[in-house]
Amino acid sequence: MTHIISELAAVLATALFIFALYWMNDPKTARRGVTAGVTGMAVAVIATWIQPEIVHHAWIVGAIILGFAVGVPLSRVPLTAVPQRTALSHAFGGLAAGLVGTAEYFLWIGEAGGAAHITPFRMGALVVEVILGFLTFTGSLMAAGKLQEVKWIPQRPVTYPGQNVVNLGVLALAVGLGVALVLHPDAVWGGKAFMAIGALALIFGVLLIIPIGGADMPTVISILNAYAGLAAVAMGFVLDSKLLVTAGALDGSSGLILSIIMCRAMNRSFTNVLFGAFGKAQPALVAGEKKEWKQETVEGASQLLEQARNVVIIPGYGMAVAQAQHKVRELYDALTKRGVTVKFAIHPVAGRMPGHMNVLLAEANIPYSALVEMDEINPEMPQTDVALVLGANDVVNPAARYAKATPIYGMPIIDADKAKTVLAVKRSKNPGFAGIDNELYVLDNTWMLFGDAKAVLADLVKQFGSGGIH
Amino acid sequence: MSDFGSMLFVFVLATFIGLGVIRRVSRLLYTPLMSLTNAISAIAVVGSIAVAGADHPLTIRILGGVALFASMTNIVSGFMITDRMLKMFKKQ
């Protein structure tokens, strides 16, 4: 009887999960998706819990309470910290898969008759589960640490000669041991080999992420998302659970699609992101005379903005770092009140994770109809009076169009340079994450505003508020 | 126990459904999408419950308990933060 209940519950939960994702196609219905997801999850948990073989209830209640104790504060982080929270949750997902896989292995070899009755398919799935789970765990922890700017994790990419050979060697060793285990499931060295696979996967996760820099984080988080999903799929194969396989496949395909979108938005391939060590400082490659940037005062900038008919704001990671989204909203209000049309140009890889800018601007109550994707805004750029670049750098660098030797060559950019006037707010005079000079800043129609994005915006808004401009 | 073939079958079909559904997700919502799919894949909680709650040796149950804690954290924080973000989009 309980078995039938659990089968039905699994079907119901699967359907609810698919609906949850389906409702995400529109912000108006999206919250229904959360309800569907929570319901599906509750159904699945209860159906598993009532199975007769579950006897240690206190154990389960304790772990659930701890999960709430950590999960609730994690859901209340500031929205600028959402990328690291997401990376952390991939780490937890990977950890759960790795640990359940480890527990299953030692249960199997402890059973009467040893591991000989395990089919090669299940053993193979178990090896995949443990490798993917543990590499996602440490890899995502590293990514979260880099995003949180934890002191002992280097922010800049760490590279050394032969890095890719070492990385692939570690992975190959783990896979090799896994193959040996599939071929000889009941060998006396099985337990040791299994532990070694787990350890190698943990090491590989760290090695995989240390050469990766901040600008690649949107892609890397998406790839880790796909891995976490695939680890859940492998767990489903091991535990013979179609529900797990389905939910993991949904997560995996989401990570895959986001990875593809992010890679395209940077004109790079998966392998290039993971093994290319983007972000190493490149020598200035732009030939010709070195031009100087021109600085503008806040007063001059506010006049330019006020006289404009349409303004496009291009936000980037700098806006998130400065937590400037609420000041952006004030500027947006001040300008729209004066009849200026204000739009936001969102590059797919702006920020540190997919959709990062949209969430920050939505937090500041900017209507989402004002958020325009790169492909839609670019044809409008030549008619734009002022393009205000706010902490974005590589995504507006015109060198991406023709400078073949730079790492950003071929990357689609927002055509800020085509606007009649460009105002660029920048914290320092250093190059962006790709380590290259930005030609946009030295164009004839570009004016720089140096300073923290939030402070500069506050000054701009004050200019409008004081009525000093007529 | 279902065989290799039928599990693979489910996996392939679910991946196609996932690709079809995710492709239509609004670009505005990629960040909440990621936290939502993350919470959903924490369905690994059912595996953790089976390992932690059955009458297994203590070491196995400890592994299961930690896994259950990790999955539960993802479920709680994943759904809650998704809802928090979506609320910001909906009120407009």
- Chain B CB contacts of A90 under 8 Å are 38
Quickly tell me which residue has 């937090």 as its tokens: A363
Most confident segment among A200-204, B27-31, B52-56: A200-204
Contact A49 B21 (CB under 8 A): no
Contact B37 A225 (CB under 8 A): yes
- CA-nearest residue of chain A to B65? A63
- CA-nearest residue of chain A to B24? A25
Residue A193 at interface with chain B, using a CB cutoff of 8 Å:
no
Least confident of A122-131, A212-221, A428-437: A428-437
Q: Which residues of A342-377 are buried (b: 16+ CB within 10 A; e: fewer)?
A: bbbbbbbbbbbbbbbbbbbbbbbebebeebbebeeb
ipTM, two decimals, is: 0.95
- For CA atoms A145, A148, A149, A152, the dihedral sign is negative
* pLDDT mean over B23-52: 93
Q: Please determine, for residue A165, whether its predicted confidence score (pLDDT) is greater than 90.
A: no
In the prediction, which pLDDT does A110 show?
Answer: 80
Q: Which helix (H) or strand (E) holds A449?
A: strand A446-450
Contact A242 B2 (CB under 8 A): yes
Angle (deg, nearest 10), helices A217-239 and A82-110: 30
- Chain A CB contacts of B92 under 8 Å are 27, 362, 365, 367-369
**Dmax (CA) of chain B:** 54
Q: How confident is the model over A106-123, as pLDDT tens digits?
A: 998 887 666 666 788 889
In the prediction, which pLDDT does B92 show?
Answer: 57
Q: How confident is the model over A253-289, as pLDDT tens digits?
A: 999 999 999 988 888 887 777 665 544 444 444 444 5
In this structure, the strands spanning A386-390 and A446-450 are unpaired
Residue B9 at interface with chain A, using a CB cutoff of 8 Å:
no
Residue A58 at interface with chain B, using a CB cutoff of 8 Å:
no
Partner residue opposite A86 with nearest CB, options B35, B51, B72: B35
* pLDDT mean over B69-83: 96
Question: Residue A1 — very low, low, confident or very high, per pLDDT cuts 50/70/90?
Answer: confident
Question: Residue A336 — very low, low, confident or very high, per pLDDT cuts 50/70/90?
Answer: very high
What 8-state DSSP symbol labels residue A295? B
Which residues of A are part of the catalytic machinery?
A: 394
**Rounded to an integer, what is the distance from CA A439 to the centroid of its chain?**
27
Looking at the DSSP bridge assignments, the partners of residue A425 are: A390, A449
Question: Residue B3 — very low, low, confident or very high, per pLDDT cuts 50/70/90?
Answer: confident
